[in-house]
Amino acid sequence: MVTSHPEPRIALVTGAAGTMGKAAVAALLKDGVHVVMADLDEKALDRARVDISASCPSIDVGRKTHLSPFDVSNREACRDAVRRATDAVGSINILVNNAGILTNNKALETSQTEWRTVFAVNLDGAFFLSQAVLTSMREKRWGRIINTCSYAAKSGGLTAGTAYSVSKAALVGLTFSLAAETTKDNITVNGIAPAYVRTPMVTEQLTDEQRKRVEEGIPVGRFCEPEEFGHVVSFLASPLAGFITGEIIDQNGGLQFD
């Protein structure tokens, strides 16, 4: 039997000031979810909330969101943030680990600092936050954890560097491990593996010529729109997606079938 979700549904979305984070927040708000918007910087979160209000005019975004500036790579900060959010709005029952940093250096050019920093944000942050929400999800017997992975995990990184690609592959591994550990708890843990979403992370790095070449190389002939990513977040967070766990949904415009 499908288990109905707890009320209220409360999501914590990291990287919420970024392009894909904002799209995920907007999609969840449209589903009636209260969203804790997490990112490094309060000012960026404020600006993101203004952008989301403009794109969701029928929603009282100020009342339905809570801003939470912290660094996901810091374990104590993750625990504090979840504690503070729980006190302010209630237990988190949807976690979207979306914060990420991209570097493009290939193996021989990658310094130890770059390697550690990329892993600290892209992998450790998702692990620390999952640890911080799991106990209450288990107690409530309902939860959704959604990790923003990347096509780079499978392709080895087309333009992305080694640290980034490996960190996203490790995030796929974390998704599988947490999914295996939580199947009996009515918690699902899934990932989304996008390629080439129309965001500054992708477009600002490319010249017009390169952008045209990349777009032509994507079988569907265009970049993924951020709203399409938000839609998959909303789907995986929905009660009727409860039979899907340990799955990585490819969103790569046909770059690879498997």
Ligand X SMILES: NC(=O)c1ccc[n+]([C@@H]2O[C@H](COP(=O)([O-])OP(=O)(O)OC[C@H]3O[C@@H](n4cnc5c(N)ncnc54)[C@H](O)[C@@H]3O)[C@@H](O)[C@H]2O)c1
- Annotated catalytic residues are 164
* Nearest distance, CB of residue 109 and ligand X, angstroms: 19
Specify the residue, 179 or 233, whose C-beta has the smaller distance to ligand X: 233
How many Cβ atoms are within 10 Å of 185's Cβ, its own excluded?
A: 15
CB of 140 to ligand X, least distance (A): 25
* CB closer to ligand X, 44 vs 242: 44
Locus of tokens 């939470």: 68
User: At its nearest, how many Å lie between ligand X and the CB of residue 108?
Assistant: 22
Contact positions toward ligand X, by CB under 6 A?
14-15, 17-21, 39-40, 71-73, 98-102, 121, 148, 150, 194-197, 199-202
The rounded distance, in Å, linking the Cα atoms of 186 and 242 is: 8
Q: Which DSSP string corresponds to 67-95?
A: EEE--TT-HHHHHHHHHHHHHHH----EE
State which H helix or E strand residue 250 sits in: strand 248-251
Residue 188 exposure: Cα atoms within 13 Å on the Cβ side: 22
For residue 240, count other CB atoms closer than 10 A to its CB.
Answer: 8
The token pair at 250 is: 């490819």
- Give whichever of 10 and 193 is closer to ligand X, judged by the CB atom: 193
Query: What are residue 14's DSSP bridge partners?
Result: 38
Min dist CB 160 to ligand X, Å, is 8
Q: CB-wise, 21 or 143, nearer to ligand X?
A: 21
